[in-house]
A = this chain, B = another copy of it.
Amino acid sequence: METHVLKSADVKSTKKRNLLLSILKEEKQAITAENLHEKANKILPMNISTVYRSLAFFTEKGILSKNIHKDGKAYYQIQNHMHQHTLHCTFCHENIPVAQCPLTELEESLSNETGYKILGHTLQFSGICPSCAKKQSSQE
Interface residue ranges, A against B (CB under 8 Å): 4-6, 66, 68-70, 72, 74, 87, 89-92, 96, 98-99, 102-103, 106-107, 110-111, 113-130, 132-133, 136, 139
In the complex, the answer to whether A116 meets B127 with C-beta atoms within 8 Å is: yes
In the complex, the answer to whether A114 meets B96 with C-beta atoms within 8 Å is: yes
In the complex, the answer to whether A110 meets B122 with C-beta atoms within 8 Å is: no
In the complex, the answer to whether A87 meets B72 with C-beta atoms within 8 Å is: no
Kindly list chain B residues whose C-beta atoms are within 8 Å of the C-beta of A123. 103, 121-124
Q: How many copies does the complex hold?
A: 2
Docked Cα-Cα span, A74 to B68, in Å, equals 10
Main secondary structure of the interface of A (DSSP, over half): mixed
Q: Known contacts A6-B136, A70-B122; can you find 15 more A-B pairs with CB under 8 A?
A: A4-B90, A66-B70, A68-B69, A72-B74, A87-B110, A87-B116, A89-B116, A114-B129, A116-B130, A118-B127, A119-B126, A119-B127, A119-B128, A120-B127, A122-B124
Interchain nearest-CB distance for A68 vs B (Å) = 5
In the complex, the answer to whether B119 meets A90 with C-beta atoms within 8 Å is: yes
In the complex, the answer to whether A117 meets B139 with C-beta atoms within 8 Å is: no
Interchain nearest-CB distance for A70 vs B (Å) = 7
28 pairs, CB–CB < 8 Å, chain A vs chain B: A4-B90, A4-B92, A4-B132, A66-B70, A68-B68, A70-B122, A72-B72, A87-B114, A87-B116, A90-B119, A96-B114, A96-B116, A98-B110, A99-B113, A102-B103, A107-B125, A110-B125, A114-B129, A116-B128, A116-B129, A116-B130, A117-B127, A117-B133, A118-B127, A119-B128, A120-B126, A120-B127, A122-B124
